[in-house]
Structure 1
Amino acid sequence: MKIVVVIPAFNEEKRLGAVLSDLKTIKAIKEIVVVDDGSRDETSKVAKRYKTKLIRVEDNTGKGNAMRLGAKMAFDEGAEAVIFMDGDGQHKTRDFHYFIDSLTIGKFDVVFGSRNLSLGVPFFRYMGNKFASVIISLLFGIYVSDLICGFRAITKRGFNKLNWESKRYGVETEMVILTGIRKLKHCEVPVEVAYYDSFKGVTFFDALVILKDVLKWKLFGWKNFARNHIKP
């Protein structure tokens, strides 16, 4: 199976090099696509230095759009699956075997990375994540314990089925919801994450905003809501 890594990056010149250096040691990864989403630093130069495929977006369009652009390039050029990871070093390459095994042996269409939420996770992030996960489960019939972890993988079939509309950070939530709606074969795998900011991420109050959005999705239908309410 041809597996490509897609990295949406915004102003990640300081940490991206170490991420790419680690990725080069994984034989199962055939290519790396970096999507520089309007960075104002040297992110693109770092990506070129490591001979990755590079998509340069002049203006910051959001993580969801960067993920879509990178995945589309990968699949158009023959990839059978992509693994999404952040460019800031918080995701660890030693966890890649979980994704690779789930894609190749388990034949899952979507693989969600799940941080061990009982160990070392900032309290506000833990509460917000769990609350949002329960709400999504009740409304859409899919439970993913770590709703917003950006470390995840998807097959070409899964990508075409999901066809997400979120351009920014709502993409993680939308992917989970659409996986449930489309009834795609999915699983969770354990991942380790390095935290650089204890208050960065989904807090309990952020989860209330997610609740408001998912209620609208449930009432009005995902496509109509995404088209009319998600900010570009």
Structure 2
Amino acid sequence: MKKLSIIACALSFFLVGSGFCLAPNLANAEEGNNQERLHSPHHPFLKDADFKRLKDLGYTKKEILKAAHIAKFADKKVDDVLKIYKENHSSWDKTAAHYGLDMDKLKEKCREQKERFLEKHKEDVIENVAEYTGKTEAQIQAWIDEGIPLRFIVSGATMAKASNKDLKELIQMKKRGQDYHDIKKSLGLDKGKIYEEMKVLMGKIKEDIKD
């Protein structure tokens, strides 16, 4: 599997928030193909022109991104997926089933890819999260040793930055039993702010991995 494809899946999992992820079939991404699609600032898996065109047709950003993820797995055009989505009364489960896909399995596959990515590049991830949050690598590792998942530390770091909080505060919230969505809600954060910070952090991690 291409390294950049796994990064894209991990990034999209954190950003979209619904459990969708990009299919691992960006065949030549590292060789320079699909660069416009991968580096679009607001919608990383679509060309800007396509995203704008679909927005003008009345689709929401969330609908377009979800359709793009299903389209990748089904090897179909985003427009075709959105058409089926509307024909199925805006049901993503029915849309996925139309293409022989199971939404729960897609979500689980993305979770597995994300976990493998974080574990495989654990040292780079910890180093970059430490630098990004002003913590030491030892502090990050100590939280992991205490049972805080690395995936939460990554997403927590972006929420902390977006809300001008110390990551330690969010770790304490996690220890008290709050999950990602609870913390995001309590901090009054929207996905846009987290998205921008996640792009920065994952971009740094990607650069370190490439080196």
- Structure scoring higher RCO (CA < 8 A, sep ≥ 6) equals 1
TM-score range relative to shorter protein: under 0.3
TM, length-normalised to structure 1: 0.26
Could you state the TM-score of these two structures normalised by the residue count of structure 2?
0.28
Higher strand share: 1
